[in-house]
Structure 1
Amino acid sequence: MDVELLKMLAADPLFEGVSAQQIEDMSTFSQEVGKLHLRLKRYKKGAAVCSAGEVISSFGLVKSGRIIIERAGFGGESALIGTAGAGQLFAEVYACSRQPMMVTARAEGECEVLHIGLESLFACRREGAERVLKNLLRITAAKNLALTRKISCITPRTIRGRLAEYLLYMYSLHGSAFDVPFSRAQLADYLNVDRSALSAELGRLKKEGLIDCRKSSFVLSPEFINGAV
Structure 2
Amino acid sequence: MSQITLFTDILPEEQERMRVCFQTKEMIFQNGETIMEYSHSMNEIGLILSGRAVLYCCDEAGNQYLIDELKKDAVFGEPFLLPADSQHYYVNAEEETKVMFIDYKHVIKRCENACHHHSQMVSNLLQMTALQSRQQMNRIYVLSRSTTREKILAYLKSLSAEAHSQDLRLPMSYTALAQYLSVDRSAMTRELKCLEKEGVLKKEGRNIYLH
What is the TM-score normalised by the length of structure 2?
A: 0.87
**Is 2:42 aligned against 1:62?**
no
Structure 1 position 124, deviation (Å): 4.1
Query: Residue 17 of structure 2 aligns with which residue?
Result: 25
**Is 2:157 aligned against 1:135?**
no
Unmatched segments (≥5 aa) in structure 1: 1-10, 29-34, 222-229
Query: Residue 193 of structure 2 aligns with which residue?
Result: 203
Q: Which has the higher contact order (CA 8 A, sep 6+)?
A: 2
Structure 1 position 51, deviation (Å): 1.8
Q: Which amino acid aligns with 1:79?
A: Y
Structure 1 position 181, deviation (Å): 0.4
- 1:52 and 1:89 map into 2 onto residues whose CA distance is 13
- 2:13 and 2:131 map into 1 onto residues whose CA distance is 27
Equivalenced residues, count: 204
Structure 1 position 12, deviation (Å): 7.2
- 2:181 and 2:15 map into 1 onto residues whose CA distance is 39
Please list every run of at least 4 consecutive aligned residues from structure 1 whose deviation after the TM superposition is greater than 6 angstroms: 98-101
Q: SS state of the match for residue 212, structure 1?
A: strand
- 1:99 and 1:57 map into 2 onto residues whose CA distance is 17
* Residues 177-199 of structure 1: CA deviation (Å, up to 9, x unaligned): 11120110111111110111000
Q: What is the aligned counterpart of 1:119 among 76, 100, 105?
A: 105
Which structure shows the bigger proportion of residues in helix conformation? 1
- 2:39 and 2:107 map into 1 onto residues whose CA distance is 24
Q: SS state of the match for residue 16, structure 1?
A: coil
**Is 2:203 aligned against 1:213?**
yes
Q: What is the aligned counterpart of 1:178 among 144, 147, 168?
A: 168
CA contact (8 A) 2:53 2:69 kept: yes
CA contact (8 A) 2:50 2:98 kept: yes
* Residues 198-218 of structure 1: CA deviation (Å, up to 9, x unaligned): 001001111111111122111
Q: SS state of the match for residue 17, structure 2?
A: helix
Cα RMSD, aligned residues only: 2.2
Change (3 A) 1:52 1:61: closer
Structure 1 position 50, deviation (Å): 1.3
Q: What is the aligned counterpart of 2:142 among 140, 144, 153?
A: 153
* Residues 59-88 of structure 1: CA deviation (Å, up to 9, x unaligned): 101112111111124653422111111222
Q: Percent identity?
A: 24
- 1:44 and 1:14 map into 2 onto residues whose CA distance is 23
What is the TM-score normalised by the length of structure 1?
A: 0.81
Structure 1 position 54, deviation (Å): 6.3
When Rg is computed on C-alpha atoms for both structures, the one with the higher figure is 1
More deviation, 48-57/122-131: 48-57
- 1:198 and 1:73 map into 2 onto residues whose CA distance is 23
Query: Residue 181 of structure 2 aligns with which residue?
Result: 191
Q: Which amino acid aligns with 1:164?
A: L
* Residues 20-49 of structure 1: CA deviation (Å, up to 9, x unaligned): 222222331xxxxxx212011121221111
Unmatched segments (≥5 aa) in structure 2: none
**Is 2:25 aligned against 1:39?**
yes
